[in-house]
């Protein structure tokens, strides 16, 4: 899926605004930091402002181009963390906000992060936990089923127990792993839900005809109104997993 970087910065800026809380976990003394899936670079730039030497990587050309435009003095590379080049190098901290759930091969992800960390290097990340946006996903799945269209979930939302095991298997020692609910107001009033769908389920909606898409989105709004519509905005049922871990010596 390719990202619409401008729309991301204006309509979906809640992603990095919430992610700013994760910066508090980054050490105070200057470190070499790799921001994995840096998107349009907002958090990368805040990491630099904290005095760290930071490199942002992202597989999306649009996101990296926007990041370079917004922050020309920072270092950004277009890289897929599942297939990283030697250009990336070694870091003290691997930081990542709202990225891991987009990545199907979590084992390879953690192996590659481990390879790019110094001994005792730190992993600080946050992403979708099991049950994340469950109401929306469930309703979307039902709509596609009604049209006899198979729904293959693009996201990998995981639990504390499963992720702890995966981290340990990949030679990380977990300091903290936390799961929490984060109800998230969407911008745009009544059209906020369809704008969110168009960003985060772009691939799945892109496979529908215009007529089917309109029908699915209307039905979705109707089905979710009683649970997620809050007077003048939609509130998405986000659940997050927040992790701090160290690479084993
Ligand atoms: C929701 S955005 C989060 C961006 C940024 N971290 C922020 O907080 O604004 C998810 C980002 O992960 C990137 N991404 C997904 N899979 C990736 C991969 N395998 N390697 C690098 N980046 C990836 C996407 O291109 C996208 O920019």
Burial class (CB in 10 A: 0-12, 13-18, 19+), 41: buried
Bridge partners, residue 240, by sequence: 128, 180
**Per-residue pLDDT averaged across 232-242, rounded?**
97
What does the pLDDT look like over 1-48, one tens digit per residue?
A: 778 898 888 888 888 898 889 999 999 999 999 999 999 999 999 999
CA distances from 92 to 38, 59, 85, 108, 132 (A): 17, 21, 18, 19, 30
CA of 99 relative to ligand 1 center, distance in Å: 5
What does the pLDDT look like over 67-96, one tens digit per residue?
A: 999 999 999 999 999 999 989 999 999 999
What does the pLDDT look like over 141-188, one tens digit per residue?
A: 999 999 999 888 889 999 999 999 999 999 999 999 999 999 999 999
Ligand 1 touching residue 58 (CB < 6 A): yes
CA atoms of 50 and 62, how far apart (whole Å): 26
C-alpha 154, offset from chain centre: 12
- What is the DSSP annotation of 102-159? G-S-HHHHHHHHHHTEEEEEEEEEEEEBTTTTHHHHHHHHHHHHHTT---------B-
CA of 89 relative to ligand 1 center, distance in Å: 19
CA of 187 relative to ligand 1 center, distance in Å: 20
Contact 20, 46 (CB under 8 A): yes
Ligand 1 touching residue 81 (CB < 6 A): yes
Burial class (CB in 10 A: 0-12, 13-18, 19+), 213: middle
What does the pLDDT look like over 45-68, one tens digit per residue?
A: 999 999 999 999 999 999 999 999
Ligand 1 touching residue 15 (CB < 6 A): yes
CA of 173 relative to ligand 1 center, distance in Å: 24
- What domains are defined for the chain? 5-133+153-188+239-247 (3.40.50.150)
For 17, the token pair is 């605004």
């Amino acid at each position: 899926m390719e990202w619409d970087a401008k729309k991301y910065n204006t309509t979906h800026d809640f992603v990095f605004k919430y992610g700013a809380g994760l910066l508090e976990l980054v050490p105070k003394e200057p470190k070499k930091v790799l921001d994995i899936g840096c998107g349009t670079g907002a958090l990368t730039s805040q990491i630099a402002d904290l005095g760290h030497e930071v490199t942002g990587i992202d597989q999306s050309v649009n996101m990296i181009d926007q990041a370079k435009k917004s922050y020309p003095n920072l270092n950004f590379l277009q890289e897929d963390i599942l297939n990283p080049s030697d250009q990336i190098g070694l870091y003290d901290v691997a930081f990542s906000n709202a990225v891991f759930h987009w990545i199907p091969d979590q084992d390879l992800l953690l192996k590659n992060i481990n390879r790019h960390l110094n001994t005792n290097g730190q992993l600080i990340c946050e992403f979708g936990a099991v049950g994340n946006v469950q109401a929306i996903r469930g309703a979307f799945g039902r709509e596609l089923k009604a049209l006899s269209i198979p729904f293959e979930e693009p996201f990998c939302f995981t639990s504390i127990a499963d992720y702890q095991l995966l981290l340990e298997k990949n030679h990380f020692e977990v300091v903290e792993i936390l799961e929490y609910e984060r109800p998230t107001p969407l911008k745009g009033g009544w059209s906020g839900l369809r704008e969110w769908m168009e960003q985060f389920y772009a691939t799945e909606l892109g496979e529908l005809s215009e007529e089917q898409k309109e029908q699915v989105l209307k039905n979705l709004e109707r089905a979710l109104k009683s649970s997620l519509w809050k007077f003048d905005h939609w509130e998405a049922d986000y659940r997050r997993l927040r992790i701090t871990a160290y690479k084993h010596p």
